[in-house]
Amino acid sequence: MSPAALRGALLSCLGLALLCLGGADKRPRDRHEWKKLILVQHWPETVCEVIQKDCKNPPDYWTIHGLWPDNSENCNGSWKFFTSVPSKSCLQLWGHECDLLPEMKEYWPDLIHLFPNRSSFWNHEWRKHGTCAAQVDALNSQRKYFGRTLELYRELDLNSVLLKLGIKPSINYYQVADFKDALARVYRVIPKIHCLPPSQDEEVQTIGQIELCLTKQDQKLENCTEPGQEPPPRKEVWLAGGGTESRGLRVCEDGPVFYPPPKKAKH
């Protein structure tokens, strides 16, 4: 082979190798990869306003929506959840650890469904988010997932933090910055706050959900967004069915925000 031909063959091989390497870099990522966890808490009064169903006497404190991996859902459809609580299924899955159930009923209630089978909301959260969180040893069973979520809820104690900083439900409006600055001062991270946009007869947005982000392996607080970074909107809204989707949660806009007081229970 002549020097020119040899040189051409080598260049062709090099080009093919580079093409292959470039293709390797563009291989699709595992759709179940995720980097952080998000502890999501919602304000029951706002949830009931959105759903507008038979939401009787909602709690007057922030409750758990879920513990979500940031970029992964529905990782194992075959990993079933027990279907009724309390039941033999619970005992079979969790043994004597069914003692979690009273706390789950109190701090992780189903505010979303009209006639809730008490476990339907937990079933949804486990199958959509828990099966992905189970990549982490500390969350790799139903008992661990729900137990650790309750631990984080207690440790971070959002309800007490807001009250101690003088942020209470009120007919007077707050500024979104009041929430952001207060939470950042206590937790030393940037949270993400979601609001319900105002309807036609409302003046301002209504606070609905607060997210605190955590590291994957040891569940330590970290920024949900970096300083100056705009938080991307999440796709998940409260049971976006029956026309409620148009009023789903959005990242709060800077400005006034309504933190609605709980309505008095009807007797």
Under 8 Å between Cβ of 241 and 247:
no
Number of domains in the chain: 1
Under 8 Å between Cβ of 194 and 249:
yes
Q: Please report, for the domain that includes residue 158, its CATH number.
A: 3.90.730.10
Residues serving a catalytic function are: 65, 125, 129
pLDDT at 204: 95
Task: Enter the tokens of residue 233.
Answer: 């909107």
- Residue 243 in any domain: the answer is no
59-118 pLDDT tens trace: 999 999 999 999 888 898 778 776 444 455 565 555 555 778 889 989 999 887 655 566
List beta partners, residue 66: 40
pLDDT at 152: 98
Q: Any residues with CB less than 8 A from the CB of 21 and at least 6 apart, and which?
A: none
121-162 pLDDT tens trace: 888 899 999 999 999 999 999 889 999 999 999 999 999 999
Q: Which domain holds residue 124?
A: 36-226+248-258
pLDDT at 17: 43
Q: Any residues with CB less than 8 A from the CB of 31 and at least 6 apart, and which?
A: 72
Confidence at 244, pLDDT banded by 50, 70, 90? very low
- Residue 263 in any domain: the answer is no
2-15 pLDDT tens trace: 555 545 554 454 44
Decide the pairing of beta strands 205-215 and 256-259: parallel
pLDDT at 174: 98
- Residue 240 in any domain: the answer is no
- Residue 165 in any domain: the answer is yes
pLDDT at 212: 98
163-200 pLDDT tens trace: 999 999 999 999 999 999 999 999 999 999 999 999 88
pLDDT at 3: 53
- Residue 53 in any domain: the answer is yes
pLDDT higher for 81 or 215?
215
Q: For the residues 21-48, what does the mean pLDDT come to?
A: 73
- Residue 115 in any domain: the answer is yes
pTM of the entire predicted model: 0.79
Nearest to 231 by CA among 265, 192, 184: 192
Judge whether residue 225 has pLDDT over 50.
Answer: yes
Confidence at 18, pLDDT banded by 50, 70, 90? very low
pLDDT higher for 49 or 90?
49
Distance CA 61, CA 174 (A): 18
Q: Any residues with CB less than 8 A from the CB of 164 and at least 6 apart, and which?
A: none
- Residue 90 in any domain: the answer is yes
- Residue 69 in any domain: the answer is yes
